[in-house]
């Protein structure tokens, strides 16, 4: 049984440029054809990231994601892996094998370095990684997702 780690945003700041120019990856996992600028993303004084769900309509479909670059060089994704408020996950996109940033492909997260595969919700599907992607604490309301 694998225990999923929950990284803290307390020490991780979203870069201003990344926050203002976040990328929303919308459905189907084809980044070049399905990317558009994300809107309604703010960072509170407490360091938590607030994402307006109504302004990021791609999150309504399974496979939709908002991907943000963090100041430490890692990437964070808010991804829709199932219907309903429990279907959202906030994931650290660093592969748990060697830390390479995973990419969405065919509704999975794939590590381009060694081929590890993860489900949309971050669970490990195939190694060489031995654990799921790390999840950030997430609170979801009908209109907003709060990460951190």
Please state the domain extents for the chain: 16-147
| Residue 2: per-residue pLDDT | 44
- Nearest 5°: the CA angle 92, 93, 98 is 105
Q: What is the DSSP letter of 86?
A: G
Return d(Cα 125, Cα 135) in angstroms, integer. 16
16-147 CATH pick, 3.40.640.10, 3.30.43.10, 3.30.479.10, 2.102.10.10: 2.102.10.10
| Residue 23: per-residue pLDDT | 35
| pLDDT, average across residues 9-15 | 45
Tokens representing 89 are: 């996950």
For the entire predicted model, the pTM comes to: 0.73
Distances (CA, A) of 19 to 6, 29, 34, 51, 132: 21, 21, 19, 10, 26
CB 139 within 8 A of CB 128: no
Q: What percent of the chain has pLDDT over 70?
A: 74
Q: What percent of the chain has pLDDT over 90?
A: 41
Instruction: Tell me: pLDDT of 56 over 80.
Output: yes
């Amino acid at each position: 049984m694998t225990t999923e780690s929950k990284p803290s945003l307390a020490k991780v700041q979203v870069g201003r440029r990344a926050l203002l120019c976040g990328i929303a990856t919308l459905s189907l996992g084809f980044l070049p054809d399905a990317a558009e600028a994300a809107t309604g993303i703010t960072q509170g004084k407490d360091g938590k990231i607030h994402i307006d769900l109504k302004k990021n309509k791609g999150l309504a479909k399974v496979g939709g994601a908002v991907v943000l670059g963090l100041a430490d060089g890692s990437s964070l994704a808010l991804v829709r892996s199932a219907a309903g408020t429990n279907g959202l996950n906030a994931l650290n996109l660093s592969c748990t094998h060697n830390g390479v940033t995973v990419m969405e492909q065919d509704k999975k997260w794939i590590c381009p370095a060694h081929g590890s595969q993860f489900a949309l919700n971050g669970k490990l599907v195939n190694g060489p990684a031995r654990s799921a992607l790390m999840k950030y604490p997430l609170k979801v309301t009908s209109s907003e997702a709060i990460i951190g």
